[in-house]
Amino acid sequence: MTIHKKLMQLSAASLAVITGFALTPTKAVAEDVEVLLFSMPFTRALAELEADFEAKTGLTAKIDVIGQDVFENRITLSFTGKTGDLDVVHAPVIQLQRWVKAGWLRPITAETAAMATKDDILAGPLDSFVVNGEQWGLPFLAGTGMMAYRTDLLSEAGFDEPPATWEEMLTVAAAVKEKGTPALAMRVAPGQGFNMFVYPQIMRAYGGKFFADYPTDLTPSMNTPEGLQGLEVYSKLMNDYGPEGIGNFNFGEVTAAMQSGQVAMIIDESGLIAQTLDPEKSQFADKISIAAVPSGPAGRSPAIAVHGLGIPADAPNAEASFKFIEWATSEETLTKIAISAGFADFTRASVADNSDVTERFKSIHPDFLSLRVQMLNDAIGHYRPLIPQWPQIGQAVGENINAAVNGIMSNQEALEAADEEIANILAE
Amino acid sequence: MQDYVGVQPVFQRNYNRMLLPAVIAVGIFAVLPLAGMVALSLTDFHLINGWDKEFGLKNFIRLWNDRRFMSSLNVMMLLSVFGVIFQVLLGLLIAVGLEKIVPKWRFMRGIFVVPFVVPAVAVALIWLSLFTPTLSPINAFFDLFGITVPAILTTQYGAVAAIVIADTWASYPFVMLLILAALQGISGDLDEAASIDGATKMQIFFRITLPLLKPALLMVALFRFIETLKHFPLIFIMTNGGPGRTTQATNYYAYIQTFQSSNVSYGAAIAVFLFLFAAVISFYVARANMRISDA
């Protein structure tokens, strides 16, 4: 055989191999259940329990945990590509309306109704997965807003109690900052799950709202005197009393600032607040206490986030998928993770009643579990509007709010821009 | 039979057929997706709402009325122009330094190349931590002396500068390597002759070396310019497009439209615009390069 013939055969073979790879379906790993979650204490702990699932069901699972930033893109590609490469997906309630409208999830109404332990799941988180009368997922996490504060730093500044209102927060923050420590850190980085997880707590406390009368009248209504007051307080707290660089802080930086003693108070999600109280993860755990999210003239509105597990519409084996969901959200698994990882946002009543769990959290803080329940009771279900366009609206509003806090535009301009952009998105 | 210049006689007969796999591969992996993107940009596909029956230039007309798109072009040009200037200057400086000024330090080349092999995500994380005051060792050091280093990621031009700095750090080795190769192609006799004629080292550099480097500089600047149009990981990780939207370059805006706003066709239109923009720039730079080379 001549050299050129050999070369041609080699080239053709290479091409065949390359195109073969490109055209082969993406599901190459032979696990029974492929799971994609985004990173948070619960999901990271769950990923370490793959062997438990196999022992319990005889099925194998591969649990991939990726960053929240990239999760949305990864899942969108999988859903729209209809690759069938995933059996179970992390399903934040805030995305649920959008995913259901797009037909990306498979309902699990009948399977849920047949569960023997269904009534043990907290009703609020369970019902938040009902859209158009169908159940689309089961919850594993119900997080809420909470404050963590340094008792020693507040005491040095002359305060024995944490601020109960946002007005008090301004006073306390000024006094703490005066003593030389940044007073308060909250998320400011733009995003519907970033600054738009924490900012509505202030906005709603001052009477601000997204829409004129949700859900019947969706006229954008952020630019009101109440909304402006809320944004002014948020901007002032972050700019005047926050740590250097707060304008780019996300939950990671907020939590780390508290754990490393660089800030006196933080307000963030309950599961992350629990991490600041854990002596293994926090240098100043013995000096940190917890409190309710401050209230305002219109009351208190703690943040709420419910996350669960759902089954993609194109999942090849729905029965195995549901078995995984049932196991991952079971009393046994939630209890195990509550104890091992200090996971506080569990969604089953039996876990809250478990003596080992209550002991675990008493060792972190005696009031942690009761404060969590109080905050969940105070939170409203539509803290972030439950409409399919929310992810897009939340991103746009979050960018404008971030611009205001960082002085790129005024508070008033940011709210005007937010209203205009919400209207445009809803009109699309 | 046609004779192909530079092709060995044994390969002459089947030259076209031997090119076929490469042509097919380029067709499948480059032309086909590009054609798909152009077709998509002419439709109205929304991830949630599905397909619309309209087919036309609507998305391209929308571009010219979209303030966010126009603003993203400004950001892109800021990042690209300043990025390329600093990368070329730094790469040139180090290459000339290693080759001409202190040749005995050539062994340092390997060290200077290190940033080039660091993945973009790691580059972004490194610089994010350096520019985040509560995490940064730079801030911790200056704090010891009571000096507060401002947080540049939270100001409009500071955030742009931060991305340019990170990109310059990661990309100057590419420029350095190409300039080093070009420098090694310049005969030492020219320097020697000029030196005998009484030219100083500065005169030799500016009158002889630099003009001879022009084609290489132009090409490396073009490569880097096209690369900077594709900025994504640095923006995504370091600033998330903020503060506000001040670091949302056009490429990042296309991502936002596609994945966050679900406007797939509009995102494709932005991508097509970027492709055409890069193609036009490449054409003019290549033509200029030919003129310089021929001169």
Is A9 within 8 Å of chain B by CB? no
Give the span between the Cα atoms of A66 and A68, in whole angstroms: 7
- Is B242 in Cβ contact with A403 (below 8 Å)? yes
Distance, in angstroms, between B21 CA and closest chain A CA?
6
Tell which residue, B141, B135, B149, has the closest CA to residue B238. Answer: B135
ipTM of predicted assembly, 2 dp: 0.79
Q: Tokens 């072009």, residue?
A: B73
| Residues in chain B within 8 Å Cβ distance of A388 | 48
A245 contact residues in B (CB cutoff 8 A)? 131-134, 151, 153-154
State which CATH number among 3.40.50.300, 3.40.50.970, 3.40.190.10, 3.40.50.2300 fits the domain covering A143-303+380-427: 3.40.190.10
Nearest CA in chain B to A239: B154
What is the Cα–Cα distance from A298 to A229, expressed in whole angstroms? 12
Other beta carbons less than 10 A from residue B162's beta carbon: 23
Tell me the per-residue pLDDT of A23-50, one tens digit each, with 9 for 90 and over.
444 444 457 899 999 998 899 999 999 9
Confidence (pLDDT) at B148: 81
Please indicate, yes or no, if residue B114 is contained in any of the structural domains.
Answer: yes
A160: left (phi over 0), alpha (psi -120 to 50) or beta: alpha
Answer whether residue B6 is part of any domain: no
Is B162 domain-assigned?
A: yes
Tell me which residues of chain A, numbers 352 to 411, contact chain B at a CB-CB cutoff of 8 Å: 388, 391-392, 395, 399-400, 402-403, 405-409
Q: Which residues share a beta bridge with A90?
A: A309
Domain count, chain B: 1
Total CB pairs under 8 A between chain A and B: 126
Contact between chains at B134 and A257 (C-beta distance less than 8 A): yes
Give dist(CA A335, CA A332) in Å, integer.
Answer: 5
**Residue A209: helix, strand or coil by DSSP?**
coil
Option in B17, B151, B262 nearest A8 (CB): B17
Cα gap A346→A328, rounded to integer Å = 11
Chain A residues lying within 8 Å of B156, measured CB to CB: 406, 408
CA of residue A319 relative to chain centroid, distance: 27
Tell whether A72 lies on the interface with B, counting CB pairs under 8 A: yes
Residues lower than pLDDT 50 in chain A? 1-4, 6-8, 10-29
Q: Nearest CA to CA, how far is A189 from chain B (Å)?
A: 7
Look up residue B171 and give its amino acid. Answer: S
A:177-196 residues touching chain B, CB 8 A cutoff? 189-191, 194
Contact yes or no for A22 and B29 at CB 8 A: yes
A132: left (phi over 0), alpha (psi -120 to 50) or beta: left
Contact (CB<8Å) B132/A406? no
Instruction: Write the CATH number for B98.
Output: 1.10.3720.10
Residue numbers of the domain that contains B123? 21-294
Residue B210 tokens read as: 């630099």
Q: How close B38 comes to chain A (CA, Å)?
A: 19
pLDDT, residue B12, reads 73
CA of A225 to nearest chain B CA: how many angstroms apart?
Answer: 22
Helix (H, G, I), strand (E, B) or coil at A259: helix
- Cβ–Cβ of A245/B243 closer than 8 Å? no
Q: Which among A15, A72, A406 has CB closest to B244? A: A406
pLDDT at A7: 42
pLDDT lower than 50: segments of chain B: none
Q: Residues for chain B: how many in total?
A: 295
Which residue among A14, A80, A190 sits closest to B242, beta carbon to beta carbon? A190
Angle (CA) A151-A156-A162 rounded to 5° is 40
Q: What is the pLDDT of residue A46?
A: 96
Q: What angle do CA B228, B232, B233 make, to 5 degrees?
A: 115
Residue B2 inside a domain? The answer is no
In terms of Cα–Cα distance, which of B236, B259, B254, B226 is closest to B66? B254
Can you count the helices (H) and strands (E) in chain A? 20, 13
Name the DSSP letter for residue A214.
T
Strands A134-135 and A265-269 turn out to be unpaired
By C-alpha distance, which of B17, B37, B64, B45 is closest to B262?
B45
Among the residues of chain B, which ranges form H helices? 9-12, 15-26, 32-41, 58-64, 67-96, 109-117, 120-131, 137-143, 156-184, 188-196, 201-204, 210-229, 233-238, 250-255, 264-294
**CB B234, CB B167: distance < 8 Å:** yes
- Residue-wise pLDDT for B177-231, tens only, equals 999 999 988 888 888 898 898 888 889 989 999 999 999 999 999 999 999 998 8
Looking at domain A24-142+305-369, does it have CATH number 3.40.190.10?
Answer: yes
Q: Is the dihedral of CA B168, B171, B177, B183 positive or negative?
A: negative
**Coil, strand, or helix at residue A290?**
strand
Residues of chain B found within 8 Å of residue A101, distances taken between Cβ atoms = 48
Q: Are B68 and B245 in contact (CB under 8 A)?
A: yes
What is the domain partition of chain A in residue ranges?
24-142+305-369, 143-303+380-427
Using DSSP bridges, classify how beta strands A61-66 and B50-51 pair: parallel, antiparallel or unpaired: unpaired
State yes or no: cis peptide before B243, omega within 30 of 0. yes
Q: Do B148 and A244 touch (CB under 8 A)?
A: yes
Instruction: Select from B131, B135, B259 the Cβ nearest to the Cβ of A76.
Output: B259
